[in-house]
Amino acid sequence: MLFGDEHVRRYEETDGEEGHDWMGTTVLVLTTTGRRTGKKRKSALIYRPYGDGYLVVASNGGADTPPAWYLNLQAAPAVEVQVRADRFAATARTATAAEKPDRWRTMTAAWPQYDEYQTKTDREIAVVVLERG
């Protein structure tokens, strides 16, 4: 099973032929800029298309701290996204309180464990909107 850096490497090498379809769902590669180092950081994340953009969830498996990639995009919302062979610049933002319920349902349909992750933490798990451009 692909995971972490190996997942990203195989995804990029094969334009998503390996790694896009994963455990019954779909994955993209998100590149953020490290908030401390300024270095590019890549993460393989479950996603769903939504309108003209894409959604990902900053779950960190229900840990009390958000994933590093989420902290990075909060500091620098200009990101790069790869969906299969399609690579593009995007702007990342956290879904607003009004937007979140529908987007959360979209993401839990893709990965039902997100609901379980939310029960593990007092932190409100963010849904992130990735918008081209």
Q: What pLDDT, in 10s, does the model give residues 20-39?
A: 999 999 999 999 999 999 99
Domains by residue range for the chain, with CATH: 4-132 (2.30.110.10)
pTM above 0.95, yes or no: yes
pLDDT at 40 over 80: yes
Kindly write down the DSSP assignment for every residue of 89-129, as one continuous string: EEEEEEPPTTTHHHHHHHHHHH-THHHHHHHT-SSPPPEEE
pLDDT at 2 over 90: no
CA 19/CA 93 separation, integer angstroms: 25
Residue 78 gets which letter from DSSP?
E
Does residue 75 contact residue 35 with C-beta atoms inside 8 Å?
Answer: yes
pLDDT at 113 over 80: yes
